[in-house]
Amino acid sequence: MASMSSGDESLRLCAFDLRRGQTEGQELDKILFFYPAELDLSTQLSVIGLSEGLITFTRLFSPEAACEVIEAERHSHVFYEAEPDIWMVMVVEKNKETGAIWRIDALRRVLKEVHSLFVMFHGSIRALIEKEPTGGLTRSLLYPFITDYLSNFFVGKKLQLPTFRETLRERGTVQMLTLARDIAVEVQSLVQVLDSCAGSLRCHSMILFQDLLVSTTLSADDTVDLFTFAVMRLTSKALSSDASSWSYLRKGPGSSEISSRSTLAPIGSIDSLHSRNGNDMHHVIRPLQNDKWTKGKDGFLITDIWGLETGGSPDSAIPTIWLQQTQERMYLLAYQHNSLTLLLLMPTNAIVNGDLSVSAVKQQVIEDASLRILKIEEKISRGWGGENTYHIKGYRYLVVDSDMELSRASPSGKVTTLAKESLLALNQLREEVDLEKSRAKRQEKDMEICIRAKNNVWVIARVTRGKELYMALEKGSDTLLDTTDAVGRFSNRYCSGAFLMD
Amino acid sequence: MDLFACDSMLNSLRLVETKKANVNWYTYTHETRLVLLASGLQCKTFNGFQLSTAGVVRLPRFEMTMARSESNSKPILSAGDLHLVTVYGRIYCLQVDREAMLLHLYRFYRDAVVQQGSLPIYSSKLSVNVVDNLLLVHQIDAKVVIIYDLFVDSRAPVSAPLPLLWRGYQGSDTSSQAANKEIESSESSTSNENILMYEDGWTFLVPDLILDQTNKVLWKIHLDLEAISASSSDRTSLLEFLQRRKLEANKAKQLCLGIARDIILERRPATQVTQAIDVLVTAYSYSVKAGTYKEIKNEKATASTPTAGASPDNERHRPSGSNIDEDVEMNLSSGSKENMFCANEQQESQLSSPAISPDELYKFVFASVEEMMVEESEYLVAIITEFLRSISAEKLKVDLNIYVMTIRLLAYSKRFAELSLFTTNKIIEPSKEVAFQLLESGRQNQNIKVRKLGLDMLRQLSLHHDYISSLVQDGYYLEALRYAQKHKVTSVRSSLFLEAAFASNDLQHLAAILRVLSELIPGFKETSEYYTFYGLLNDTSSSVAV
């Protein structure tokens, strides 16, 4: 195990329950997840013990919001309270030489993302623990899940968390495709057809074009989760083996190796401590497993993650997810035509009751919608300008709408043309803005910052009523006036004047 | 047999041309200006000549099909078995084939005659009329009439066979029995009981008249669209059928609106409703392009002077006689009181097309069902989306109130994700009214996101005053003032900003606002408002200092 070279120093990630293992000798009980799993238990406990101590300590002063981050000399500790008393902590090594410079909020968003995805597939951790108090079930689900998730961050054999180079990205937001009105109307008309594919029972749907959202009927939070999952595993890009270079979610070749370890590790280490009932030993579903989805002949995507269709009832092999907003369990059907991916969600209880069969819904989709899907895909593809569609000459930008949980940014291929210093300056500026925002808490803060960095780049942050704009302008000769003008023009032209510049 | 084709000029007959042909018998109708000469043993070989202003056009010789009877005797076609009709400006020849019990259709083109299907017949005696471009085939033995619309490729009848009924001169009085036809009596003394349908003495005259020699009256056939729509179940083709009616455009239009309302209220599957809407929208779009659609408003303008036009609804008591012209005269002389009474109906029946504009669809269909459907707003939204798609495909515009209504419905069913998509993709076209509805729906649902959509729309529309006022209302008074300063808007009451800042207890803000306002509004420092708040500022700040 010691031979493990892949980031065993650079990253520790754990999840623990503060309500568990409060008595002497029972400390191991609080650990729900630890990465790397191979680490000896005493080290695991010391990381968690330190985190727990800090949380308890800081709660004395700030009971509402405990510790968020600790900056040690060599490490940053990022805290995220995923659910009441369920904490996720990430410890990352700082290393200027290797470019390991992070923005804390970007790291916290990684924790937030993996937790949201977990909840989407398995329900909340607290509910799982309550269902099965030994925690064995929770662990057996968390281990493969987070490990599968982390496999996205592997570049070669090295785990690479989002660094300052990804400062013009916002994890946990949705990227949308801008549609012309006539196509948008047709899309909405298709959405109505999809939603009524289960007869009187209303379904939910989401449509993506490549890695961009076209439409959704889900709440903003559910949209983000499902969108993230779709971009990771379902879209045409995710399915094609040559993984995209411009998507920030990279697929790593190391994934299979990780996965095989992940299922073994918990059973060998933690779970052996508990007596497990045989029920839990059944097939553990790993929704984030790589390369498990393929496109079937009828256009629907198929996977054996949820089991094989031959075993048990025909619908048991169909993926299910939980919706946050309604707390409903839904069947997930994915249909794909070229670059267009359609996700259809149907409440499971209606199907379990026998009111509806999934195959009937599939048939309905093919009958009612496939022709429209074909036409819409064709129309969108014709108008699609490629991955640089949202590139705006002279600007390197990120616009975030935190109300709608949307973002749009310069294509990553264009962002890489920025100098390292510019990216670092912008990263730092964003860090400052994050800090200001968290201080302001609920109140919506109005901010306008323009800084000229060392390499004469202008880095700009503009925050107004739930909308944020970050920008780097590498025109050293420009004055502050030129810069605000440039931002003002950008705002008027591309953000419908949302960012007023003085 | 020789045929002389003659031309009348200046009350004199002059031989223009002589054509020699073997002819057994001939048939001619003035309506079609077509002479058909039958020849051959079975009289089924035809030569046709059409008389036109440009001279006589010779049609190619053609043969009609006739089934052989079992006895192997060859049936002979007689002139009575042939009917020439004009439908939608096309000339058809209908040929009765008694052996096959079929009515063969031949369409005359400029240079060809093409058989276009056959209709089954159920009576050995048969006659044909045309009303409003519909082919009425009287099955005389069965005493029913079957209506065909030759516009569509399908040769299926428009409705089930319907009886022919007599309807008195009360004309448009719909309280009388449901019927597919009204026959206007030409003589008021003729009583209901006296008249037998399909008497032997009837002679059918093309296009829509029946000469009743027994009763010495002339009948005019009239379609009862209501009865036809009541006996037809396929709503989509029924709507198409109604949209093609010219004679009673207004009635057809009202029926269409009624059908559209009903299918929505009956909660028919969205696909069916979509088809129906598509029919209406395409028909409208077509009639606008063809120039037949006229705005109701124009009609209303002329409403005060009802003219005695050929209003089929109002064909009144008419004197004996067979001349149509006399009918019109009679109509003119009918009482003014009566005219007043049906003025509304008359002016609307002048509509030359039953086409329904998107605005009318909104007003008479969507707006009228909204209240009843509010619990089923999801269904209604689906229908409206299809409607918007349909009019967008035809590049038409619609009353912006439909957008206001869509927002209301989406907000009612809490479908905020879609509301946001509809707005950002401009499916809901931006307007002040729409923006205000967004603000209102956002307020009702305490959904700040929806409110922001409204605010963003106001800003995009450059409705500075409303934007600033709404911003202040939401508590963004600094942002609002900044915007006012940038866009030099002075119409917003300055006290709004000041009170908002004072209410939030932020003295720095209050001071800043006072300063900005004095720069923005000339003479602001002289107003009482300035003194009030300046005083307040000084008082409070000194008390804070103490």
Give residue for tokens 């029919």.
Answer: B279
| Burial class of residue B546 in the structure, from the number of CB atoms within 10 Å of its CB (0-12 exposed, 13-18 middle, 19+ buried) | exposed
Q: What would the two tokens of residue A260 be?
A: 């095989």
Query: How distant is the Cα of B418 from the closest Cα of chain A, in angstroms?
Result: 6
* CB-CB neighbours of B192 under 10 Å: 10
Which pLDDT does position B147 carry in this prediction? Answer: 83
Do A185 and B460 lie within an 8 Å CB cutoff?
Answer: no
Which pLDDT does position A317 carry in this prediction? Answer: 77
A368 phi/psi in degrees, rounded to 5: -85, -35
- Alpha-carbon distance of A35 to B112, in angstroms, equals 85
The full DSSP string for B275-331 is HHHHHHHHHHHHHHHHT----HHHHHHTTTS------GGG-----SSS-HHHHHHHH
Whether A33 shows a pLDDT value over 90: the answer reads yes
Region of poorest pLDDT, from A485-489, B67-71, B408-412: B67-71
pLDDT in tens, A167-188: 999 999 999 999 999 999 999 9
Confidence of residue B316 (pLDDT cuts 50, 70, 90): very low
Identity of the amino acid at B416: F
| Order of strands, sheet of B82-87, starting from the edge strand that comes earlier in the sequence | B82-87, B90-97, B102-108, B113-120
Do A465 and B452 lie within an 8 Å CB cutoff?
Answer: yes
Identity of the amino acid at B34: L
In chain A, pLDDT over 70 holds for what percent of residues? 86
Whether A330 shows a pLDDT value over 70: the answer reads yes
User: Chain B interface, mutation test: which of A403, A408, A501, most B Cβ atoms within 10 Å?
Assistant: A403
* CB-CB neighbours of A224 under 10 Å: 26
CB A74 within 8 A of CB A67: no
In B331-390, the residues whose Cβ lies within 8 Å of chain A are 378, 381-382, 385-386, 388-389
Region of poorest pLDDT, from B48-52, B283-287, B427-431: B48-52
More confident residue, B346 or A160: A160
User: Chain A interface, mutation test: which of B418, B474, B477, B509, most A Cβ atoms within 10 Å?
Assistant: B418
Phi-psi region of A501 (alpha: psi -120 to 50; beta: other; left: phi over 0): beta
Whether B85 shows a pLDDT value over 70: the answer reads yes
Which pLDDT does position A489 carry in this prediction? Answer: 92
Do B385 and A498 lie within an 8 Å CB cutoff?
Answer: no
- Alpha-carbon distance of B81 to A50, in angstroms, equals 105
Secondary structure in 3-state letters for B407-428: HHHHHHCCCHHHHHHHHHCCCC
Distance, first Cα to last Cα, chain A: 59
Do A500 and B482 lie within an 8 Å CB cutoff?
Answer: yes
Secondary structure in 3-state letters for A214-266: EEECCCHHHHHHHHHHHHHHHCHHHHCCCCCCCCCCCCCCCHHHHHHHHHHHH
Name the residue facing A189 among B386, B415, B482 (closest C-beta). B386
Do A404 and B426 lie within an 8 Å CB cutoff?
Answer: no
Q: What would the two tokens of residue B35 be?
A: 């002479």
Distance, first Cα to last Cα, chain B: 129
CB A66 within 8 A of CB A55: yes
Which pLDDT does position B199 carry in this prediction? Answer: 66
* Among A377, A394, A405, CA closest to A460: A394
* Among B25, B20, B49, CA closest to B38: B25
* Among B315, B310, B148, B149, CA closest to B219: B315
Q: What would the two tokens of residue B546 be?
A: 């103490």
* Residue in A with minimal Cα distance to B421: A215
Confidence of residue B539 (pLDDT cuts 50, 70, 90): confident
B271 touches chain A (CB under 8 A): yes
Which pLDDT does position A130 carry in this prediction? Answer: 93
pLDDT in tens, B321-362: 333 333 333 333 333 333 333 334 444 445 678 888 889 889
State the count of interchain CB pairs (< 8 A) between A and B: 82
Which pLDDT does position B145 carry in this prediction? Answer: 82
More confident residue, A357 or B308: A357
Which pLDDT does position B465 carry in this prediction? Answer: 92
- Give the CA distances from residue B56 to residues B34, B37, B51, B505, in Å, rounded to whole numbers and listed in that order: 10, 14, 5, 97
Q: Which helix (H) or strand (E) holds A91?
A: strand A86-93
- Alpha-carbon distance of A190 to A184, in angstroms, equals 10
Whether A95 shows a pLDDT value over 50: the answer reads yes
pLDDT in tens, A34-66: 988 888 899 999 999 999 999 999 999 888 888
Do A500 and B486 lie within an 8 Å CB cutoff?
Answer: yes
| Order of strands, sheet of A11-17, starting from the edge strand that comes earlier in the sequence | A31-35, A11-17, A86-93, A75-83, A69-71
Which pLDDT does position A243 carry in this prediction? Answer: 45
Q: What would the two tokens of residue A338 be?
A: 């070229």
Whether B144 shows a pLDDT value over 90: the answer reads no
Name the residue facing A184 among B393, B427, B459 (closest C-beta). B427
Whether A435 shows a pLDDT value over 50: the answer reads yes
More confident residue, B392 or B223: B392
Do B270 and A196 lie within an 8 Å CB cutoff?
Answer: yes
In chain B, pLDDT over 90 holds for what percent of residues? 14
- Alpha-carbon distance of A115 to A101, in angstroms, equals 23
Which pLDDT does position B188 carry in this prediction? Answer: 34
Q: How far is CA B494 from the centre of its chain?
A: 53
CB A487 within 8 A of CB A475: no
The pTM for the full model equals: 0.81
Confidence of residue A86 (pLDDT cuts 50, 70, 90): very high
Identity of the amino acid at B516: V
Q: What would the two tokens of residue B331 be?
A: 């109509």
Do A191 and B386 lie within an 8 Å CB cutoff?
Answer: no
Between CA B155 and CA B160, with CA B156 as vertex, the angle to 5 degrees is 150
Query: How distant is the Cα of A204 from the closest Cα of chain B, in angstroms?
Result: 11
Q: Please provide the average confidence, as pLDDT, over all residues in chain A.
A: 84
Buried b (16+ CB within 10 A) or exposed e, A168-202: bbbbbbbbbbebeeebbbbbbbbbbbbbbbbeeeb
Do B392 and A185 lie within an 8 Å CB cutoff?
Answer: yes
Give the dihedral of Cα atoms A54, A55, A56, A58; nearest 10 deg. 80
Which pLDDT does position B301 carry in this prediction? Answer: 37
Which pLDDT does position B2 carry in this prediction? Answer: 56
- Give the CA distances from residue B383 to residues B272, B273, B278, in Å, rounded to whole numbers and listed in that order: 10, 7, 11
pLDDT, mean of residues B46-55: 75
Q: Please provide the average confidence, as pLDDT, over all residues in chain B.
A: 75
Which pLDDT does position B497 carry in this prediction? Answer: 86
Whether A293 shows a pLDDT value over 70: the answer reads yes
- Alpha-carbon distance of B118 to B106, in angstroms, equals 9
ipTM value of the model?
0.86
Which pLDDT does position B331 carry in this prediction? Answer: 33
CB B43 within 8 A of CB B77: yes
Name the residue facing A188 among B427, B460, B486 (closest C-beta). B427
| Burial class of residue B357 in the structure, from the number of CB atoms within 10 Å of its CB (0-12 exposed, 13-18 middle, 19+ buried) | buried
The beta strand positions in A232-368, using DSSP E, are: 293-295, 301-303, 320-322, 329-337, 340-347
Chain A residues in contact with B422 by the CB 8 A cut-off are 188
Indicate the SS3 state at residue B150.
Answer: coil
* CB-CB neighbours of A73 under 10 Å: 5
pLDDT, mean of residues A152-178: 89
Query: How distant is the Cα of A186 from the closest Cα of chain B, in angstroms?
Result: 6
pLDDT in tens, B427-484: 999 999 999 999 999 999 888 889 999 999 999 999 999 999 998 888 888 888 888 8
Indicate the SS3 state at residue A271.
Answer: helix
Q: What would the two tokens of residue A350 be?
A: 């209606």
Whether A270 shows a pLDDT value over 70: the answer reads no
Do B449 and A446 lie within an 8 Å CB cutoff?
Answer: no
pLDDT, mean of residues B89-94: 84
In A164-183, the residues whose Cβ lies within 8 Å of chain B are 179, 181-182
* Residue in B with minimal Cα distance to A463: B479
Q: Across B166-175, B185-194, B416-425, which has the greatest mean pLDDT?
A: B416-425
Query: How distant is the Cα of B383 from the closest Cα of chain A, in angstroms?
Result: 9
Between CA B386 and CA B392, with CA B390 as vertex, the angle to 5 degrees is 115
Q: Across A156-160, A394-398, B303-307, which has the greatest mean pLDDT?
A: A394-398
Which pLDDT does position A418 carry in this prediction? Answer: 92
Region of poorest pLDDT, from A9-13, A260-264, B320-324, B465-469: B320-324
User: Chain A interface, mutation test: which of B377, B389, B462, B487, most A Cβ atoms within 10 Å?
Assistant: B389
B78 phi/psi in degrees, rounded to 5: -115, 165
Do A189 and B389 lie within an 8 Å CB cutoff?
Answer: yes
Chain A residues in contact with B448 by the CB 8 A cut-off are 403
pLDDT in tens, A193-207: 888 887 777 789 999
Do A218 and B417 lie within an 8 Å CB cutoff?
Answer: yes
